[in-house]
Structure 1
Amino acid sequence: MPAPRPAASSTLASYSAAVSASSPRHAARNSWAWRSGTAPLRLPIASGHPLQQLDRADLAAIAAIGLTDPARLAGRRIEVAGDAPTPTQMAEAFTRVLGQEVRHVRDDLAMIRNPDMHAMWTFLARDGYQADLVALRAEFPEIAWTRFADWVGRTLTPQS
């Protein structure tokens, strides 16, 4: 489904709502990994390393500000993120929503053969993105700044 385009009279709230409404809901289905009683969340970063993330609706909200109030963002480069959960926190969020134990398993970065993916995960495993979440919330209080656990709860539907 293509992303919705804002009407000329669109507001930040209505455009953000349109993007959120267009987001498909996903269903978590049983797989071979779950038959053992624990599902792995396989990421090549340390369990306690924060991984900054951004919900599409929050990105749309920043874009809408740029379209409706360009002077507010003019000439600036702003790193944005809504949350920075660790893999352990991500696994806990999946566990709460799905009712199935999920735990982080750190994959070996050397096993990633694709050069682009390897470069990305190397970057994320070291410093990663450095958006100032506190400053973003203060400067843009009209944006929801979706937390990972809220995204999981909104996006995943357990299936039996």
Structure 2
Amino acid sequence: MPEARNGERFGSIALDADISLQMIALVDVGRIAADAFDNPAEFIGKKIEIAGDELTVRQIAEAFSRVDGIPTRFERQPIEELRAGAEELANMFSWFEGEGYRADIVALRERYPELLTLDAWLRKNRQQPCRAASGTGTPA
């Protein structure tokens, strides 16, 4: 996410505000991988989709606002504009909008109840405001 300016955080993304995105924290990828190594007979030869949360673009913006109090919003970037500069990225966003990931988050949470939601990840990983923004130049 871009830094806040004038008390607001704004980003653009080539998706409609009501498109859902599945996401997963890196620490959760590690937990699931460790489980696969600990239980090879259960995982060898199988593919599973993994995710810890699923939110719409609008809900993602709301999560950022909720966690740090900075109003956050996304504007839809035209896919043609993105395609002009980054064809593969545009293809990815088209795929997100048309198909997207389909991990069974309910089943994953049954096995891995500690999977982080975006809110939990943001609370755990958000950076503290820096006094440089207020002119003192030292971390808060």
Does the 8 A contact of 2:3 with 2:9 survive in 1?
no
The residue that corresponds to 2:86 in the other structure is: 114
Structure 2-normalised TM-score?
0.82
Q: CA deviation at 1:98?
A: 2.2
Which aligned pairs between 1:99-138 and structure 2 lie closer than 5 A? 99-112=69-82, 113-138=85-110
The residue that corresponds to 2:9 in the other structure is: 39
Q: Does 1:71 align with 2:41?
A: yes
The residue that corresponds to 1:82 in the other structure is: 52
Counterpart amino acid of residue 80 in structure 1: I
The residue that corresponds to 1:144 in the other structure is: 114
Give the alignment's Cα RMSD to 1 decimal.
1.7
The residue that corresponds to 2:61 in the other structure is: 91
Structure 1-normalised TM-score?
0.72
The residue that corresponds to 1:16 in the other structure is: none
List alignment gaps of at least 5 residues for structure 2: 134-140
Which of 1 and 2 has higher RCO (CA within 8 Å, sep 6+)?
Answer: 1
Percent of aligned positions with the same letter in both sequences? Answer: 28
Does the 8 A contact of 2:28 with 2:116 survive in 1?
yes
